[in-house]
Amino acid sequence: MQNREQWGSKLGFILAASGSAVGLGNIWKYPHMAGENGGGAFTIVYLICILVVGLPIVIAEFVIGRKTQLSPVGAFETVAPKSNWKWVGMLGVASAFVILSFYGVVGGWTLKYTLISLTGGFSQLAGDPEASGTLFDSFIKGALAPILWQIVFMGFTIFVIVQGVKGGIEKWTKIMMPAILVILVVLMIRGLTLPNGTQALDFLFKPKFEDLTASSIVLALGHSFFTLSLGMGTMITYGSYLRKDQNLLSSALWIIFLDTLIAMMAGVAIFATVFAMGADPGAGPGLIFVVLPTIFPKIVGGAIWGTLFFFLLFMAALTSAISILEVITAYFIDEKGWGREKAIIIFGSVVTVVGAFCSLSMGAFNITSFMDISFFDVLDYLSSKYMLPIGGMLTALFVLYRWGVPNFITEMVLGMDDHNINPAVVRILFMVSAAVVGFILLNEIIATITGTPIIG
């Protein structure tokens, strides 16, 4: 693998990996989860989970990728030849197919909403959640329009990664990540300077522990995984384009910091606007596509703020989608010897077709109707509740029991100034991380079988 592509700079790598982490999870999921689970209390639990469960696994994925210079399947195969560990890599590639199928559909929605806002379409929704709900419903349940937007979104994804790691992924995330930050700062200032806007800060950051329930803890744990793109080898793949001089600990801390910062900023921007306009902070998943379009037109210059907001959401989704498609692409390049273009065009198209069925399942035609759940929800549920946690837990177990903590540390310290890493601490961190994820999984399995979870 002499010609393996490499990142052009340390910053480029950090921005690309945080681009993967920052996505719909930060801007769409985190605010509504916090809104429904007591605000500040949820935020505190989420921060603890990110550090305890997330950090060790981010680092593990980077270290495995950089050590082997291969995407997940080849990476596990190299460290543990002729063993079943390569199936952890296969699970990652499968997860990538599953996630990108529905992620691309929502990516299409963000484009459509950017356009609606740009053309002044929110103005007749002012203060009318019902009209806004109807517009959203009739759009996503349509047969043709959402698929066309999904295809456009997937087209952007393919366009970026076809240009390669440095010339495509790195180049574009270096533009989009700063743009995301700038837009968020603007929207946050706009929100906080509205009357009552600062209530958002109390809501998000003042802990009200009486609102904290067992189920919000489980949610926070699961989300810490999803938001950092863990458990499917994304970070292994991105780590495989690194040279040995990158400090993986500080890179991981930067990525977690940016991911968390952006989730918090999005929360402040959204809730400031919600409180200023007297809307309901606990509106749930519809907070963004249904509630926000009714409040933007009530603010001076609302069409601009709305357009910026949905464009930001689009860029966040795009930088994540890029990393998901790259996992699939890298697998076919590394393991099957395919060219980049061929892999991307073929599998980008396959994912788009599967995604079209997700989109159709919202209303027009649901291939999983026999299970009483939409195909979209099947894929979402399968990946975030099972595939990603299983992948993440196995990655931690791999370091603990197959590769070995001392070997892991030897590779990890390359590029770091301080080589004194305490193996006992590392071991405990991985054990806690694996145990916590194992518990969420068990809880979910028990809930599915018996109808009542142990906690939650």
Task: State which of residues 71, 173, 320, 329 lies at the interface with ligand TRP (CB under 6 A).
Answer: 320
- For residue 364, the minimal CB distance to ligand TRP (Å) is 26
Task: Give the C-alpha separation, 388 to 341, whole Å.
Answer: 27
**Contact between 229 and ligand TRP (CB under 6 A)?**
yes
Buried b (16+ CB within 10 A) or exposed e, 216-241: bbbbbbbbbbbbbbbbbbbbbbbbbb
Using a 10 angstrom Cβ sphere, with 0-12 exposed, 13-18 middle and 19 or more buried, the burial of residue 383 is buried
Matching residue, tokens 């099947």: 378
Cβ-based nearer residue to ligand TRP, 269 or 277: 269
Give 70's DSSP letter.
Answer: S
Cβ-based nearer residue to ligand TRP, 132 or 240: 240
Task: Give the C-alpha separation, 252 to 250, whole Å.
Answer: 5
Closest CA to 256 of 424, 62, 92, 390: 62
Helices (H), 337-422: 340-360, 375-381, 388-397, 405-412
- For residue 439, the minimal CB distance to ligand TRP (Å) is 20
Phi/psi for 410 (5° steps) reads -55, -40
Stretch that binds ligand TRP, among 22-30, 64-72, 104-112, 131-139 (CB under 6 A): 22-30
Cβ-based nearer residue to ligand TRP, 54 or 281: 54
- Residue 2-21 contact track with ligand TRP, rule CB under 6 A, x = bound: ------------------xx
Cβ-based nearer residue to ligand TRP, 294 or 319: 319
Task: Give the C-alpha separation, 232 to 326, whole Å.
Answer: 12
Residue type, 239: G
- Residue 83-102 contact track with ligand TRP, rule CB under 6 A, x = bound: ----------------x---
- For residue 73, the minimal CB distance to ligand TRP (Å) is 16
Total residues at the site for ligand TRP (CB under 6 A)? Answer: 15
Cβ-based neighbour number of residue 339 at 10 Å: 10
Stretch that binds ligand TRP, among 75-83, 170-178, 223-231, 350-358 (CB under 6 A): 223-231
- Residue 23-42 contact track with ligand TRP, rule CB under 6 A, x = bound: xxxx----------------
Task: Give the C-alpha separation, 250 to 72, whole Å.
Answer: 22
**Contact between 324 and ligand TRP (CB under 6 A)?**
yes
Task: State which of residues 157, 246, 323, 433 lies at the interface with ligand TRP (CB under 6 A).
Answer: 323
Task: Give the C-alpha separation, 218 to 231, whole Å.
Answer: 17
Cβ-based nearer residue to ligand TRP, 23 or 297: 23
Contact footprint for ligand TRP (CB under 6 A): 20-21, 23-26, 99, 226-227, 229, 232, 234, 320, 323-324
